[in-house]
Each structure stands twice: as C-alpha cells, then as structure tokens.
Structure 1
C-alpha cells in the first residue's frame, strides 16, 4: 500500500484527560508504522513536551511542535521564532492588563506573571514538565535578553473573554505574528505566517508524499489549517463545531479511540 503521512494533535485528540494514549490507539498506530506509514504528533506544545508523547508511541514517531514553529524531518529539526518586534508588542499589550503570557523555548517556559497554581499542577504537560522548566520575565529588558531562545507563546486567562478578544484584535492588527486558539481561555502566539499547515507542507515536499495521502486529526481551532492542508481531514467527536464543519470526516472522541477507529476503517477499505 502507498505510504501515508499522518498528523495527530495531542490534547483532546491523541491523549485522554490524564495525558494517556489508549492501548488501542498505540496498537493501531504501531501496526501501521510497521507497514511503512509515517506518523507525527502535531501540537501547540513546546518541543520537549511533544517529543515525550511521540516517544510513548515509538521512536519512529516524529514531531510538529509549537503550532508548526518547530518540526522534524528525518530527525533534522527545523525552527521558526517570534520576532523581537512581535515580542515587544505582546509584552506591551498584555502587561497593563496583567494577563499571563507564557513564551516557549524548546525546553524552557518564560512567564510574565505569577505562575498560577493550576498550571503548576494540572497543565504541566501543556506548559512545562518540571519546576526547572520555568523562568520568570519581570520586564521587557529581561524578555529581550532571552529573545533568541523563544519560539512561540500563549496567553492563558480564565474568565476574561472580553480582554482576550481585545488583545487578539490588537495583535492580529499589528501583523507582527500569527494568532490562534486551542481553547476559549487562550491565545496562541505564533511566528508570522507559521501554523501547523506550513510545517505539514514542508514535510510533504521533502518526503514527496501527495496531499491525497495525508491524514490529519484535530479537535481545536488551531488545527483548522492543518486539516485544510490534508487530503483526508478528520475532526474528533469532541472537536469544536467549526472544525467539524470543515473536516472531511468526523470520528469518535479522544476518549473513545477516535484515531484508531478511523484508521482501522480507512485502511481496511484500502486493502
């Protein structure tokens, strides 16, 4: 069978609420990898967090991280970064409203407000892996001192939808970066012109696999471009409505082995 290129978002797609990959998902993915199909996790997480999940599947699973800002092709890592002007705009826009911003390096999280307790406990997988991963940013000068280590970022603010909408509008209007959201409580901060789709297109070109043999799975708004760049786009049963409307197929939820169930049906039909 012709080789397929398969991209899977992590949170809300590949893993459950305990950050676990189901036995069925892993079994089906590993079986298809042995047949020569290529699998990537494609996520807004920083690289070190994404590679941990990829390695839980297999050493052959590769990574698109930081919403397309970092990706691997045949073990070579490619990287884009937020510009200095983008960092300045983000900081000067969010600081007066005291909105928490997290900037991601490959292995480090730089944060601008007091680190919320719930992030330290429940969202370590999404934001960071240990206390050593965190570095406090107390000024624009401090931010600039680490600018070469920053790839992308995220604003997270619960119960502040009005402020987030205002900030998103300002950042979009600046045309200094790309923005998206993986949840109503956040704004994803991405290098200008970069998203999961741009990474997919670069990987596709290098590996010479046609679009009709690219499958992608997602559940959030930041997966929209990825699905549009794929010949076979699959929204999870728990996906936002916008994604379901754009996808070619809708599968079961991430808690019901949605990835495995779709792949079993798809490849059985091919065979």
Structure 2
C-alpha cells in the first residue's frame, strides 16, 4: 500500500462502461487520486483522436499510450514517439483480409480506414496498427497463424473476435515503460488495468497487474488480482484500495 505512483488504464472494457461512458464513481476516484499527486494515464488501443475527448473530460494533462503503444504522448498536446508499420506490411495484411473476406481496419496518423473506405492509398499514409474482425473463429485462427509466421508483428486482440497487429516489440508495456522513463519512476511503482489480450504485456510487467472482472480468461490468469467489472466501477475500486489508502 502506498508504493504506487501511477495507474495506467485501458479504456474500452476497463475505464469505460458498456455505453462508452466514464461512470461518476470512476471519475470521482480519478479526481481524488490526482489530488493526492498520483499519476493517472490512459493506455489504450484507441488512437489519440478517439481517446482525447475522455482525456479532456477528466482534465488530465499526463502522458498517454495509444494505438497499443505505437504512439506515446508526453502530454495530450505533445507527441513523444511514434512507431510505424511499413506500407508493404499493411499491403500484405490488407490482401490477407480480402482473401479471407473479413472485416478489417487500419489506423494511420491521419485517421482510421476500414473495409468500407472508398479509397485506400497505402503509400500516402503513415500506418500505426492493423486489425481484423470475424466471429468465425476458424478463420480468425487461420489469419493469426499466417501473420505469426511472418515474425514481424506484435499480435494481440481487444476482443475475442478480433486480431490487432502492431510493429514487433511495440505494446502497451513498451509504451508504459517509455512513460516511466519520462516521469522518472519504476514499473514496480505502476498499477496497470485491462481486460483483453492487448493489456497482458503491461499487466504482466507492472508492479500490480489488475484484470477486470469482465476480462478474458487469459488476462485473469496472468494478473496479480482480478477486480470488479467495468459496469461495477472496477477502476474506482482499485484506486480506492491501492492509491487512496496510503
């Protein structure tokens, strides 16, 4: 108790409820933690544009990890580091989506493209992350096996029916470690909370790794503790227990 200086929060399925809102309980706990000098950051698969309204709602000026670690921001207005996928890699991933007839999306610096995008100019964009979605688990596993064989991608998910691809070695953990370097703190002083496979690396490496009550089974298996669900304000519960009881 009292040794943790920073809490890193996944957003969807963790901080946010199923209506994509921050509950009053979670907001109040975050405000109390920051008032005590604790550092609250977002560590999310979302892009910066999508995450920023929630950052502003909470009044945070702290660093953030977005796109599963492909971008680390020193503050909401200052980018620290960006790690890109090559256009050729995105071309190969896009081809794989077409061959398997599944939904896909791709994060670029300028926005998000998907299967319904009218124009996809691979050479004109700086690419951050690629994803697939299908409820056909056999098809999803076939795609995963293929991209694993390439050996150049970090492979996770944010839902049991999707796959998320980042440059090899880039994860929420690598982003969080960079934030710790910026702030002069240790990973042992960090609490990391999440619900999906893309949270596993940071949950494993943090001083206290927390799985949500609604987390995927593998996340619960590797976490130090499992808390309440995102509908039960699990973030507030962990903040009250581990940051406000110093």
Alignment TM-score, normalising by the size of structure 1: 0.84
5 Å-filtered alignment, 1:68-107, equals 68-74=69-75, 75-77=77-79, 78-107=81-110
Q: Distance in 2 between matches of 1:213 and 1:7?
A: 11
5 Å-filtered alignment, 1:207-246, equals 207-246=183-222
Give secondary structure in 1 for the equivalent of 2:41. Answer: strand
Aligned to 1:30: 31
Q: Distance in 2 between matches of 1:97 and 1:73?
A: 39
Distance apart, 1:108 and its partner CA = 1.2
Aligned to 1:162: 138
Alignment TM-score, normalising by the size of structure 2: 0.92
Distance 1:27 1:143, change over 3 A: same
Q: Distance in 1 between matches of 2:56 and 2:45?
A: 17
Aligned to 1:53: 54
Superposed CA RMSD: 1.8
Aligned to 1:136: 118
The answer to whether the 8 Å contact 1:86/1:177 transfers is: no
- Whose relative contact order is higher, 1 or 2, with alpha carbons under 8 Å and at least 6 apart? 2
Distance apart, 1:242 and its partner CA = 1.2
Unaligned runs of 5+ in 2: none
5 Å-filtered alignment, 1:254-265, equals 254-265=230-241
Aligned to 1:20: 21
The answer to whether the 8 Å contact 1:69/1:199 transfers is: yes
Give secondary structure in 2 for the equivalent of 1:52. Answer: helix
Distance apart, 1:34 and its partner CA = 1.9
Judging by fraction of residues, say which structure has more helix.
Answer: 1
Question: Is residue 227 of structure 2 the alignment partner of residue 251 of structure 1?
Answer: yes
Aligned to 1:146: 124
Distance apart, 1:2 and its partner CA = 6.4
Give secondary structure in 2 for the equivalent of 1:226. Answer: helix
Task: Please list the CA deviations of residues 88-117 of structure 1 after superposition, one character each: whole Å capped at 9, or x if unmatched.
Answer: 220222212222221112451112x23xxx
Unaligned runs of 5+ in 1: 115-134
Distance 1:268 1:184, change over 3 A: closer
Q: How many residues align?
A: 243
Give secondary structure in 2 for the equivalent of 1:14. Answer: coil
Distance apart, 1:147 and its partner CA = 3.3
